[in-house]
A and B are shown apart, each in its own frame.
Chain A
Amino acid sequence: MTKLVYFAWVRERIGKTEEDLDLPPEVVTARDLLNHLKTLGEEYENALQYPEVIRVAIDQEHVEHFEKIAGAREIGIFPPMTGG
């Protein structure tokens, strides 16, 4: 099981703050994960419609979409940041 945490409009559109998911073995990279999540239902499809803008963090560190997610305890999925 991998813990996924969602923030801002990704969280609102998916309708969950976090969840534990069993990821299929073909989900290797962060990009694979976003594409997999899009198949889980309309709310995921809506949240991740433009996966190229979505940011991914593994164990609270930013990663690029091509990076592997193997061994991740927590994966954060969120829109571009607007703090400051």
Chain B
Amino acid sequence: MTMPTIRVQTDDFDLQSEIDLLTAGRMDIGAVVSFSGLCRDEHGALSALELEHYPGMAEAEMNRIALLAIDRFSLLGLTAIHRYGKIAPGANIVLVIAVASHRQAAFDGANFVMDFLKTSAPFWKKEHAADGSPRSWVDAKDADDTARDRWR
């Protein structure tokens, strides 16, 4: 059984190093798909995002989702990293890398993990406005639930 790598951290991550960790010495991997989620500035309106999480549950929930994906798409490896704390526009927030024998499983695996991570991993975003107006919590989107439900 493939075990996922799950990390919740304040530090940034390096995409290539994480890919290398998954593929080093492996001759059976034919496909690597990665997704990086970055902080947008919303056309200059945002100075930062602040990410809050539920310590312990965030890791546990990401691990649960990762195991579902590994099983469903026969992934040969999976890494999911989510940052928390204050994140500036242009900086990384989240990384998912799925590796498999063939591309479709790797694409689907990464997509599946992101769809479930957005709706069930306990993270919350708060926006810091560039003009100094009061900070506001980001609303959950129905579109994220719809994206998750297509995997049923």
Contacts and interface: CB of A to CB of B under 8 A. Distances in A.
Interface of A: 5, 7-9, 57, 60-62, 76, 78-84
Interface of B: 37, 51-54, 56-58, 60-61, 82, 93-94, 114, 117-126, 137-140, 144
A83 B87 CA distance: 13
A5 B54 contact: yes
A7 B121 contact: no
Given A9-B137, A62-B61, 8 more contacts: A8-B52, A57-B57, A60-B56, A60-B57, A82-B124, A83-B117, A83-B118, A83-B125
Nearest to B53: A83
Given A5-B54, A60-B56, A79 B137 contact: yes
B137 to A, nearest CB: 5
A28 to B, nearest CB: 23
Contacts, number: 71
Contact of A81 (B37, B94, B120): B120
Contacts of A78: 54, 122, 124
A11 B124 CA distance: 12
10 contacts: A7-B124, A8-B52, A60-B56, A60-B60, A61-B57, A78-B54, A81-B120, A82-B140, A83-B94, A83-B123
A82 B54 contact: no
Nearest to B144: A84
Contact of A82 (B57, B61, B82, B123): B123
B53 A76 contact: no
B69 to A, nearest CB: 14
A21 to B, nearest CB: 18
Given A7-B52, A8-B137, A60-B60, A84 B124 contact: no
A61 B123 CA distance: 14
A76 B120 CA distance: 13
Contacts of B118: 81-84
